[in-house]
Chain A
Amino acid sequence: MIVRPRWADFKVIGLYTGKVIVGVGLLMVIPLATSLLFREWNPAIDFFLGIGACLAFGFGLEILCQTSRDMAWGHGLVVVSFSWFMATILGAIPHYLSGHFSSYLDAMFDVMSGYTTTGLYLLQDLDHVSHGFNMWRHVLTFAGGQGIIVIALTFLFQGTAGAYKIYVGEGKDERLLPNVIQTTRAIWLVSLAYLMVGSSFLWIAGMSLGQGPVRGFLHAVWIFMSSWSTGGFAPQSYNSIYYHSLLYEVITVPIFVIGSFNFALHWAVWTGEKREIYRNIETISFFTTVAIAMLLAMAGLMKLNVYPDIIALFRKMFYQVVSAHTTTGLGTIYSRTFVRQWGTLAMLGIILAMAIGASACSTGGGFKGIRMGIIFKGLIQDVRRLISPESARIVEKWHHISTRLLDDATVRMAMLIVLSYAGIYALGTVAGVYYGYDLVEAMFDAVSAGSNSGLSCGVVSPTMPTLMKVVYLFEMWAGRLEFMSLFALAGYLVALFRGR
Chain B
Amino acid sequence: MVAAAPRCGGEGVVYKRQVGFGLQNSGGFYRYLIGMALEVSATVVLMGVGLLISIFGFYLWK
Contact = CB atoms under 8 A, between A and B. Distances in A.
Interface of A: 177, 182, 185-186, 188-189, 193-194, 197, 253-254, 257-258, 261, 266, 269-272, 274, 277-278, 283, 287, 290-291, 294-295, 298-299, 302-303, 309-310, 313-314, 317-318, 321-322
Contacts of B49: 287, 290-291, 294
Contacts of B10: none
Contact of A254 (B26, B40, B57, B61): B40
A298 B34 contact: no
Given A185-B22, A253-B47, A290-B49, 9 more contacts: A189-B23, A258-B42, A270-B35, A271-B27, A277-B42, A287-B46, A298-B53, A310-B55, A317-B54
A314 B21 contact: no
B4 to A, nearest CB: 19
A143 B44 CA distance: 27
B22 A182 contact: yes
Contacts of A299: 57, 61
A254 B43 contact: yes
Contacts of B20: 189
Nearest to B44: A254
Contacts of B26: 186, 189, 270-271
A277 B49 CA distance: 16
A193 B36 contact: yes
Contacts, number: 107
Interface of A is mostly: helix
B23 to A, nearest CB: 6
15 contacts: A185-B22, A186-B23, A193-B36, A197-B36, A253-B47, A258-B39, A270-B31, A271-B25, A294-B49, A298-B54, A299-B61, A302-B57, A302-B62, A313-B57, A317-B54
Nearest to A307: B58
Nearest to B19: A189
A269 B21 contact: no
A76 to B, nearest CB: 23
A193 B32 CA distance: 9
A257 B21 contact: no
A291 B23 CA distance: 37
B58 to A, nearest CB: 5
Contact of A318 (B23, B36, B42, B47): B47
Contacts of B23: 177, 182, 185-186, 189
Interface of B is mostly: helix
Nearest to A278: B42
A43 to B, nearest CB: 32
Nearest to B50: A318
A257 B42 contact: yes
B21 A298 contact: no
A182 B26 CA distance: 11
B42 A283 contact: yes
Contacts of B57: 295, 298-299, 302, 313
A182 B35 CA distance: 19
Q: Across chains A and B, which 3 residue pairs bring their CB atoms closest together, nearest first?
A: A302-B61, A270-B35, A314-B54
A291 B53 CA distance: 8
B54 A313 contact: yes
Given A185-B21, A299-B61, A317-B54, A270 B43 contact: no
Contacts of A194: 36
Nearest to B35: A270
B21 A294 contact: no
B41 to A, nearest CB: 8
Contacts of B61: 298-299, 302-303
Contacts of A197: 36
A188 B26 CA distance: 13
B51 interface: yes
Given A271-B27, A310-B58, A266 B53 contact: no
B27 A272 contact: yes
A269 B38 contact: yes
B43 A253 contact: yes
Given A283-B42, A302-B57, A271 B47 contact: no
B40 A258 contact: yes
B46 A257 contact: yes
Given A186-B23, A271-B31, A272-B27, A277 B39 contact: yes
A283 B38 CA distance: 13
Nearest to B34: A274
Given A189-B23, A271-B27, A310 B39 contact: no
A193 B34 CA distance: 13
B58 A313 contact: yes
B46 to A, nearest CB: 6
A374 B61 CA distance: 34
Nearest to A255: B43
